[in-house]
Amino acid sequence: MVNELDANLENAFHESQSIKIRLGPSGLHIFCRRTGLNVLCDEIQVPNELWAVAPRQVSVALTNACDLRCPYCYAPKTRAALDPTRLAGWLQELDANGCLAVGFGGGEPTLHEHFVKLCRYAAKQTNLAVTFTTHSHRIDQALAAALRGAVHFVRISMDGVGTTYEMLRGRPFGEFRARLNIIRSLAPFGINFVVNTNTMPDLNAALSLAAEAGASEFLLLPEYPVYGRGGIDPKTGRALQEWVSRYRSSLRLTVSEAGSDGMPAIPVVASETGVRAYAHIDAQGVLKQSSFDHDGIRIENSGVMDALRRLQSQEVESK
């Protein structure tokens, strides 16, 4: 009986650690990082001085290194990787100021020397939900075991299926498919799908595969213009809009904010926009409004929240 009581108390403690409350212009936001549940009490009017200061979500490029060479990749190609000690301090600041989730990316985040330690630190020493975006080819049973319990959601990049995938990513598609079986034992996962002329014809097949593999989300990423590429062309953009309008699958469909124009998308929290909703830290320690931006504010010894205040001032001045 005593052992059972101890176990129940421990479970209750871990459950309480999974719940976070964020106050903001839209009301009281309750978030559970373990289940992904979001509840917005928008009838509650929160005084301005109580609003969370940190963005609702922050993405962090741990490194620019990647072992693939996808032609549409927008990540910087300069060599850079974040110092884990400095990053740990930034995560503490963000957590204390109302941030709900951190998403590790790159480059390929699993190439960062301290990737596992950083995930475990964020999960155990903060109340942030921990996600990461990966091409998946480095996720084996050993890495999955090391990450289990330290990651709440995984985003898998899959642009095209079969020969399309292999042409764009230069890796066997069968190997990619096998990695999904490992990842589904690690944490809930979603599929990230860059949409362009090459990948649009594979969209239905990709969606079917994602559902079959057990994905809980399918994220559309209309190709962003970068490094001389024009991004998604108008014809493909219109075809994507028509495809979305006909969408009837039970698999949750989402779209990147940068590519949401013309889409029947509903804002997650309509009153939280700009850096109040999202910010990005690149692999050189520069805080930006998004991962597509070239300019931002370097995070100095004064910390990430000081950099955020300066970035917010820039955002206001630009309007």
Q: Which of 316, 275, 317, 283 is nearest to 98 (CA)?
A: 275
212 and 285 share one domain: yes
Pairing mode of beta strands 19-24, 278-281: unpaired
27 and 151 share one domain: no
Task: Give the span between the Cα atoms of 114 and 82, in whole angstroms.
Answer: 10
42 and 171 share one domain: no
What pLDDT score does 317 carry?
A: 64
The pair of structure tokens assigned to 306 is 């000081």
Sequence-distant (≥ 6) Cβ neighbours of residue 59 within 8 angstroms: 102, 103, 104, 105, 278, 279, 280, 281, 291
Say which CATH number the domain at 261 has: 3.20.20.70
156 and 291 share one domain: yes
86 and 162 share one domain: yes
Q: State which of 51, 70, 91 marks the end of a domain.
A: 51
93 and 27 share one domain: no
37 and 74 share one domain: no
What pLDDT score does 4 carry?
A: 43
> Into how many domains does the chain fold?
2
Sequence-distant (≥ 6) Cβ neighbours of residue 136 within 8 angstroms: 156, 157, 176, 179, 180, 183
Q: What's the angle, vertex CA 222, arms to CA 219 and CA 226, rounded to 5? A: 125
64 and 8 share one domain: no
274 and 290 share one domain: yes
Span 221-252, pLDDT tens digits: 999 887 677 789 999 999 999 999 999 999 99
Q: Which of 84, 144, 134 is nearest to 107 (CA)?
A: 134
43 and 90 share one domain: no
222 and 95 share one domain: yes
What pLDDT score does 166 carry?
A: 96
Q: State which of 51, 73, 91 marks the end of a domain.
A: 51
Total-model pTM: 0.91
Pairing mode of beta strands 57-61, 101-105: parallel
pLDDT in tens, the chain (319 residues): 434 434 433 343 344 568 999 999 999 999 999 999 999 999 999 999 999 999 999 999 999 999 999 988 888 888 999 999 999 999 999 999 999 999 999 999 999 999 999 999 999 999 999 999 999 999 999 999 999 999 999 999 999 999 999 999 999 999 999 999 999 999 999 999 999 999 999 999 999 999 999 999 999 999 988 767 778 999 999 999 999 999 999 999 999 877 666 666 566 677 888 899 999 999 999 999 999 888 999 999 999 999 999 999 886 666 5
Span 53-69, pLDDT tens digits: 999 999 999 999 999 99
115 and 79 share one domain: yes
- b/e per residue 286-313 (b: at least 16 CB within 10 A): bbbbbbeeeebbebeeeebbebbebbbe
Are 245 and 219 in contact, with CB atoms under 8 Å apart? no
Domain that holds residue 241: 52-318
